[in-house]
A and B are shown apart, each in its own frame.
Chain A
Amino acid sequence: MTRQQVLDQYFVDARHKLIDLAAFLDRVDRSEGEADFRIAAFRTALKHLAEKKPHRAKRVLLSFSDPTTKPLAKATVKGATGAWPGKN
């Protein structure tokens, strides 16, 4: 696809998603409560969007990922939170 074709097909949708992200961050800032590892990870991941290098999606996913290699002693929950809290 040409740059023109990519923009014609995806720009409005990406713009919509970007504004949703901005509104989400505003909503978080308006809310009261403790600091949370998820929003910290989110802000770190956002930095990758502004980088002028390929594979941004991969770097965003890596930034949310558990980088350790040792299995957990026990699974105490079933769900995932979306961001690694920094320790297991």
Chain B
Amino acid sequence: MRYIEPHGHMVSRTTDDYQDMVTAGCAAVCEPAFWAGFDRSSADGFHDYFCQLTDYEPKRAAKFGLPHFSWLCINPKESEDVALATDVIGLIPKFLDRPNVLGIGEIGLNKNSRNEMKVLEMHVDLAARHDQLILVHTPHLEDKLKGTRLILDVLRSDKRIRPERCIIDHVEEHTIQLVLDAGFWAGMTLYPESKCSPARAVDMLDLYSHERIWMNSACDWGVSIPLAVPRTALEMKRRGWPADLVDKVIYRNPIQFLSQCPKFKLP
């Protein structure tokens, strides 16, 4: 088995996780910027975080032979403070040329507030001006449907944005069709306590599409499983999926999307 982990917060994980992922067939890991579990007090904290994502963490992954890529932004959970967000967004351009940076993400919404919307629009503008791929976080639980609709409105209203260069992550049964019908890529996040179980993810693949879709573990400092993608591949095999189709969903699909950034290359 070979697979891509297109969304993992590896700064929160141990080296044991890197070993397990490589052993399971992981060929590359992509790490979007996210909330640290607490609010940073200044833009300086983000500067250091971006250095970690673009310098230190790739070296840590390389010790296990795993290519590491990253996405940069201020996470929606910290977007209520527009002044801070403006400062952080101002830092990002100087990091965009770093060799492992794939684009802007994970941007999006958390509680669907006006300030979060404003910061989302600033990120979208940044991505458009620098011709970057976009990775979007959709809100959790009861806020997901509304947030997904608002995010799609923001992306569709900016005519510079090409849907095929944006992935809307954390889709579930009530949002996947909205995303795919609008021409965007969809990400399914496999969580043990919320979002998708492996069985539900494979149901959605059966019901909706094998195209423009990927799966990720979004493993972080919370309850999450770094091997969620290969475990879901086992679920596909239990259902009799042909090996080539499993390979397409967990390996070739993410490569298809990520290769739109010329920096995404596998050894």
Contacts and interface: CB of A to CB of B under 8 A. Distances in A.
A83 to B, nearest CB: 6
Contact of B113 (A55, A69, A74): A74
Contacts of B141: 64, 80-83
Contacts of B142: 64-66, 80-84
B94 interface: no
Contacts of A10: 199
Chain B interface extent, by class:
20 to 34
Nearest to A73: B114
Contacts of A57: 173, 200, 203
Helix, strand, loop or mixed for chain B's interface? helix
A66 B143 contact: yes
Contact of A80 (B140, B172, B174, B203): B140
A21 interface: no
SS of A interface (majority): loop
Interface in A32-88: 55, 57-58, 61-62, 64-69, 71-84
A72 B112 contact: yes
A60 B142 CA distance: 11
Interface residues of A, number: 28
A62 B174 contact: yes
Contacts of A61: 144-145, 172-174
Nearest to B239: A1
Nearest to B172: A61
A31 interface: no
A9 interface: yes
Residue from B111, B200, B240 having most chain A Cβ neighbours under 10 A: B111
Contacts of B144: 61, 65
B111 A78 contact: yes
A57 B150 CA distance: 22
A64 B266 CA distance: 41
B114 A65 contact: no
Given A66-B145, A74-B115, A77-B111, 8 more contacts: A65-B144, A65-B146, A66-B142, A69-B149, A69-B150, A76-B111, A78-B35, A79-B140
21 contacts: A55-B173, A58-B173, A61-B174, A65-B145, A65-B146, A66-B142, A67-B146, A71-B150, A72-B111, A72-B112, A75-B112, A75-B115, A75-B116, A76-B111, A80-B111, A80-B139, A80-B142, A81-B141, A81-B142, A82-B141, A83-B141
